[in-house]
Structure formats: C-alpha cells, structure tokens
Amino acid sequence: MLTRLLPVALALGLSATTALAAGPQLKGQAPGWYRMQLGDFEVTALSDGSINLPVDKLLNQPPAKTLKTLHDAHLDVPLETSVNAFLVNTGSKIVLVDTGTAGLFGPTAGRLLDNLKASGYTPEQVDEIVITHMHGDHIGGASSTAFPNATLRLDKRDSDHWLSAEQMAKGGDEAKPIAAVVKGFADAGRFKPFDGSAGGVEIVPGVKAFPAYGHTPGHSNYVAESKGQKMMFWGDLMHVAAVQFPNPAVTVQFDSDQKAARPAREKAFAAAAKEGYYVAVAHVSFPGIGHLRAAGKGYDWLPVNYSTNR
Ligand SMILES: [Zn+2]
Ligand SMILES: [Zn+2]
C-alpha cells in the first residue's frame, strides 16, 4: 500500500516522510494514577506531577560525584523528580497518604486532586489524610474544604515544630500555607495529631504509623497490611533513587537532622530488603512502588511489575 502511494506523493512534490508524518506533537502525559491490590486492600498511586531539583547541590556529597552517578544512570540535573501520594482503600475506610504540593512548587505539580478524580475516587470519600511530614510537597494539597470528610493525622512532633512561634517567624514561602492547612482542619474539629514515638499507632484497621524521625522532627512512615501483604509508605526517607539506593549514607540538605535521617534511612532500607515487602516512596519515579534488594553495600530498586489489576 505504501509503495503504491509513494509515486503519488512524489508527483505532488511531497517527500514520503512529509506525507506520512501528519499532526503536531501532543505533549502531556496519561492521567497519573496506578492501581494494585495489597491483600484485600486496593492501593492507588497518585501523581501530583514532578518538580526539577538541582540534586547535585542538594545532596551532601561532592557535586561531581552526584553528577557522575546520574550520568551513569542516563540522568541529568536538574533532575525531574516525581511527587507521589497514595490512596489506600481498605474496603471500609479510605486513607490518603500525603497530598502533594497544591501548586506551592509551580505548575508542573499540584495535580493530585485531578488525578484522584481521574482514578475514579472523589475527595469526599477520603476518611483520613495521613501526612508523613509537614513539608509543602506532602501537606500542601491537604485542604479541609477539598476533603470535607477527612481527618488530618500526623505526628505531633511535626506540628509542634513547624507551627512553633520560632518556625513561623522564620517564615519561608511554605510556612503560612502549611499553617493555614492545619488551621482549616483544626477549626473544623478534624485535626488529630498523634504521639507516634512508640510505633504502631493505628489510623484505621490495617494502617499504622511508625516513627522515622530525622528528615523532620516528626517524620513518620505508614504501613498498610492485609492478608500477609504489606506496603510501607516512606515519605522523604530518601530523595534521589539513583544515588541513595546504592549509597544510603548520602544525606540531603532538606533533612532537619542529618545525623538522625541517615540511620532512619539505613534501618528502613535494610528492613525492606530483608522482609521483602512493598515500599511506596514520594520522590521515586512514579508510581514509586517497588521492592529493595540488597546489592553490595547498598540496594537495587525493583519497580513494581505492571499490572492491569484484573
Ligand atoms: Zn521533606
Ligand atoms: Zn518531599
């Protein structure tokens, strides 16, 4: 067929490529959600979008070392970094783990609500919003009006720290919007911080909080477990997969307490590799769900196998 059309195209003065390459490039991406089963639970990874990070300047190791590792992984700076959140439907409760940026980090992120709706859920269905920590790319999208039936849960060490007079005075672009988020829920009687220091605070049956302090004073991991299947939600336990999986000792400037953040990460990596459960990570390439496998002094990241979720 093509060979028969070719003389016609040539007669019209068109090259074969011109005749066959019709239409502008479209840009954009498929809606950012990915669904899988975890025992009886359904987990939906939700993309808030991505942000460009100058990770060579943010990681606490020589920039040239970071650049070499990135280049070896066919990556570059600024590194386009996913911002992921996760919806867990236990069958009786719907829990949203982190909420994205709500545009605090520019127009390439802030898409969580759109993607939640595209995935078939509504914000009204969310019962609990659990926050790993109060950085703007995790709590920014929490809104008491957008999620009219949800309770906001997080470790009180984070709210005590970030809402303190000292932190508010230091300001920063994130301080006021984050305080407004919490105030919205508190005014509606739907802000319930917890003391997670002992570990195992139950959010809803099958979902618990565990302390992973260091990145922020109250940084928490959440665990969903059903029928022997387990997924741990890591928040900002790590930021740059290409660097920190092979070398978990590398800290990042975002860490409030780098001395605590490093062992928290190393402990979590070791446990995940040993026990073989799923981990779901905020800043690993979407959907950010996978397994860890010990490799030398570090770990390989094994992204979740694609599923049509039959
Ligand atoms: Zn953070
Ligand atoms: Zn983050």
Q: Which ligand is nearest to the CA of 218?
A: 1
Mean pLDDT over residues 47-57, rounded? Answer: 97
* C-alpha of residue 107 to centroid of ligand 2, in Å: 16
Mean pLDDT over residues 116-131, rounded? Answer: 98
* C-alpha of residue 136 to centroid of ligand 1, in Å: 8
* C-alpha of residue 283 to centroid of ligand 2, in Å: 7
Tokens linked to 229: 């299947």
Phi, psi angle pair for 89, to nearest 5°: -105, 110
Fill in the amino acid letter for 69.
Answer: T
Q: Which ligand is nearest to the CA of 109?
A: 2
Confidence band of 1 (pLDDT split at 50, 70, 90): very low
pLDDT at residue 4 tops 80: no
Confidence band of 132 (pLDDT split at 50, 70, 90): very high
* C-alpha of residue 252 to centroid of ligand 1, in Å: 10
On the 0-12 / 13-18 / 19+ scale of CB atoms within 10 A, 1 is exposed
**Distance between CA atoms of 31 and 274, rounded to whole angstroms?**
34
CA distances (Å), origin 182, targets 30, 70, 129 = 32, 37, 12
Fill in the amino acid letter for 270.
Answer: A
pLDDT at residue 169 tops 90: no
**Phi/psi class of residue 27: alpha, beta or left (left: φ > 0; alpha: ψ in -120 to 50)?**
left
The pTM assigned to this predicted structure is: 0.92
Query: In this structure, what is the dihedral angle of CA atoms 90, 221, 191, 157, given to the nearest 10 degrees?
Result: 160
CA distances (Å), origin 116, targets 152, 210, 290 = 17, 25, 21
Residue pair 209/222 in contact (Cβ under 8 Å)? The answer is yes
* C-alpha of residue 256 to centroid of ligand 1, in Å: 9
CB proximity list for 103: less than 8 A, separation 6 or greater? 109, 110, 140
Question: Which residue is associated with the tokens 């028969």?
Answer: 4
* C-alpha of residue 221 to centroid of ligand 1, in Å: 12
Phi, psi angle pair for 128, to nearest 5°: -135, 135
* pLDDT tens digits along 188-201: 999 999 999 999 99
* pLDDT tens digits along 12-46: 555 545 556 789 999 999 999 999 999 999 999 99
**Distance between CA atoms of 60 and 215, rounded to whole angstroms?**
14
* C-alpha of residue 72 to centroid of ligand 2, in Å: 24
Q: Which ligand is nearest to the CA of 137?
A: 2
Confidence band of 118 (pLDDT split at 50, 70, 90): very high
* C-alpha of residue 144 to centroid of ligand 1, in Å: 21
Mean pLDDT over residues 228-252, rounded? Answer: 97
Round the average pLDDT of the chain to a whole number and report it: 93
